[in-house]
């Protein structure tokens, strides 16, 4: 028996989204996941603005992915205007990006904890454990970025504030003391995930696909050739009324559907051999939290940041040079592209976020899966729908 299932408002995800499934005998033959959040027009809003405001305005795209947009925006303007950034500032940006990676990834664990821990007391104990770690990530964001949300210290040219040695030492000790707690929470998450799979009778390779992977760096981000991206409208890919309802674009790096995010970084930069499936994706995202904190510990222990960290050169370019700023966000590769004129005004802006890229990966992962498990597949990618419909 063949039927069509449409769900709009997927629970335990960030932002209003829809799921379209063609199901035959309980198995998904074709599936699409898409955004339903209204487009706010950030790319158009930025045109005509002074280039220095790009990190400020783009951080408002989302309250979760704020720092990653600030970093990518600043790097894009710097690339367009040949502004050299102090190396120590780049290290602090990397640290902020890793802190927001942990902050976001652990929030995702809280969101899906309803799936993992059916007993309310177990769920609350896990959430309390995770929140203690998120508090430390928040301290890093606030102390170095200036605020937990919409960090004002990320500027075109670097980072606005130096760090006093006493504060740096305090942050380092806090990070070191948190690592054992992070290891414990990782084990708790693994146990909950294994219990979910057993309880629901889910196949170990649920959501497996054969797509290639896309990432630029393990921790921070490296430039990409933006000319190798292709974009398709919902009208080109989606069936029926979804052509008019979906609010996201579909980017294709090198003209292909790909997966970006934790597994992509593991495969491309650590030689990891993927087994496939969304359970593995959950586990690799959780492992990134521990790796991120170890990298933060390394940065804080090996460098000092008590001197000028900002190149105050005013942005200016020829209006033709395309500046690309890349940051490896929690969910994958986040890309900003900008052109700046001689007066320092933005004349072109384009943003490609990880969830946009992963819409195609989710569609591929749904094929052949039990229809009853479709939402588990979607949630494993931790989609940020607000970012995807910027």
Residues placed in the known binding site for Ni(2+): 65, 384
Residue 313's contacts (CB-CB under 8 Å, 6 or more residues apart) are 81, 83, 157
Rg (C-alpha) for the chain, rounded Å, is 21
Query: Which residues are CB-neighbours of 346 under 8 A, at least 6 positions away?
Result: 46, 47, 48, 49, 50, 51, 54, 338, 339, 340
Cβ-in-10-Å burial (0-12, 13-18, 19+) of 177 comes to: exposed
The Cα–Cα gap between 340 and 352 comes to: 18
What's the CA gap between 262 and 215, in Å, rounded?
Answer: 9
CA 156 – CA 23 distance, rounded (Å)? 49
Q: Can you tell me which residue has the tokens 């309310």?
A: 120
- Parallel, antiparallel, or unpaired for β 250-253 and 229-232? antiparallel
Binding residues: 43, 62, 65, 351, 384, 387, 390
Which residue shows structure tokens 């203690």?
132
Beta strands 259-260 and 213-214 are: parallel
Intra-chain end-to-end CA distance of the chain, in Å? 39
**Nearest alpha carbon to residue 344 among 50, 9, 4, 127:** 50
Binding site residue list for Mg(2+): 43, 62, 351, 390
200: helix, strand or coil: helix
Q: Which residues are annotated as a binding site for Fe cation?
A: 65, 387
Q: Are 352 and 225 in contact (CB under 8 A)?
A: no
DSSP E strands in the chain: the ranges are 2-8, 17-24, 27-35, 154-155, 158-159, 213-214, 229-232, 250-253, 259-260, 323-329, 332-340, 346-352
What's the CA gap between 117 and 376, in Å, rounded? 14
Closest CA to 324 of 188, 208, 216: 216
Q: Which two tokens stand for residue 371?
A: 């229809």
Taking the CA of residue 75 as centre, how many other CA atoms within 13 Å lie in the half-sphere pointing to its CB? Answer: 25
Grouping H, G, I as helix, E, B as strand and the rest as coil, residue 344 is coil
Nearest residue to 249 (alpha-carbon basis) of 10, 35, 9: 35
């Amino acid at each position: 028996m063949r039927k069509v299932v449409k769900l709009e408002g997927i629970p335990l995800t960030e932002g209003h989204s829809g799921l379209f499934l063609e199901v035959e005998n309980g198995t998904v033959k074709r599936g699409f996941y898409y955004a339903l959040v209204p487009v706010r027009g950030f790319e158009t809003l930025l045109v005509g603005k002074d280039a220095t405001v790009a990190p400020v305005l783009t951080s408002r795209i989302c309250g979760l992915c704020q720092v990653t947009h600030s970093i990518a925006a600043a790097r894009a303007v710097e690339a367009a205007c040949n502004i050299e950034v102090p190396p120590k500032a780049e290290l602090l940006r990397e640290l902020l990006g890793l802190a927001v990676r942990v902050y976001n990834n652990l929030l995702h664990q809280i969101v899906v904890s309803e799936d993992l821990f059916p007993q309310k007391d177990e769920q609350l104990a896990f959430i309390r454990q995770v929140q203690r770690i998120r508090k430390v990530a928040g301290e890093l964001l606030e102390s170095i970025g200036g605020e937990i949300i919409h960090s004002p210290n990320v500027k075109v040219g670097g980072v606005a504030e130096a760090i006093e040695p006493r504060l740096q030492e305090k942050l380092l000790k806090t990070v070191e003391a948190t690592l054992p707690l992070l290891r414990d929470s990782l084990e708790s998450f693994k146990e909950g995930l294994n219990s979910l799979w057993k309880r629901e009778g889910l196949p170990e390779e649920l959501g497996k696909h054969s797509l290639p992977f896309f990432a630029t760096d393990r921790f921070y981000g490296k430039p990409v050739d933006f000319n190798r991206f292709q974009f398709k409208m919902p009208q080109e890919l989606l069936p029926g009324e979804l052509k008019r309802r979906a609010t996201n674009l579909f980017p294709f790096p090198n003209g292909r559907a790909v997966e970006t995010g934790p597994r992509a970084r593991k495969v491309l930069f650590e030689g990891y051999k993927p087994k496939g499936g969304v359970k593995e994706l959950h586990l690799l995202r959780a492992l990134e939290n521990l790796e991120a904190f170890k990298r933060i510990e390394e940065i804080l222990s090996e460098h000092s940041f008590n001197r000028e960290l900002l190149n105050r050169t005013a942005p200016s370019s020829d209006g033709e040079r395309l500046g690309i700023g890349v940051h490896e966000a929690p969910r994958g590769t986040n890309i900003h592209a900008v052109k700046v004129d001689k007066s320092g005004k933005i004349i072109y802006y384009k943003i490609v976020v990880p969830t946009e890229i992963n819409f195609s990966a989710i569609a591929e992962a749904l094929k052949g899966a039990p229809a009853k498990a479709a939402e588990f597949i979607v949630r494993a990618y931790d989609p940020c729908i607000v970012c995807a419909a910027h």
